[in-house]
Structure formats: structure tokens, C-alpha cells
Amino acid sequence: MTVDRLRDALRAEPFRPFRIHLADGKAVEVRHRDFVAISPPGRTIVVFEPHPEWADGRSHWIDLLLVTELEILPTAA
């Protein structure tokens, strides 16, 4: 996946949550654009999981070369 495709999903109006699928079969959900950081070169991203106690929140460091799919999730009815 390209960083431009990721930026398009992050900038979409209205924002729609999406799931990032990785080559090893894992998936990471992005619930809000503020929970993603893109490295300056654009190859690595960090996805932060929202958590009631921020000190315990998890982060996922992802190499975009290992992303197989970006799945836009349905909006709640």
C-alpha cells in the first residue's frame, strides 16, 4: 500500500473507520484519524489504540510494504 492511499483514507470527509490488513494475517483497526502517525519518509506508520486509561494503550508500528489491504468499515446505522 502507498502512503498516499493511507492519507486519502485519513483525510476522507466524513472520516470512516478502516482496518489495515497485514501480510501475516493480522489486522489493525483505525477508529479515528488522530490515532495514526506517519513517519516523515512515509514508509512506517504508528497506529494507537484508544484506551480508557491512556497510559495502558497499545501502539502498532507498521511497515506499509507489509500492508495487503485497507478495508473501509461500514458506518453505524
pLDDT (tens digit per residue) in 44-73: 999 998 766 655 678 999 999 999 999 999
CA distances from 64 to 11, 22, 41, 44, 77 (A): 18, 9, 11, 6, 31
Assigned CATH topology for domain 3-72: SH3 type barrels. (2.30.30)
pLDDT (tens digit per residue) in 26-43: 999 999 999 999 999 999
Domain boundaries, the chain: 3-72
How far is Cα 63 from Cα 75, in angstroms, rounded to an integer?
A: 27
What is the pLDDT at residue 54? 57
Which residues lie below 8 Å from residue 54, measured CB to CB, with a gap of 6+?
A: none
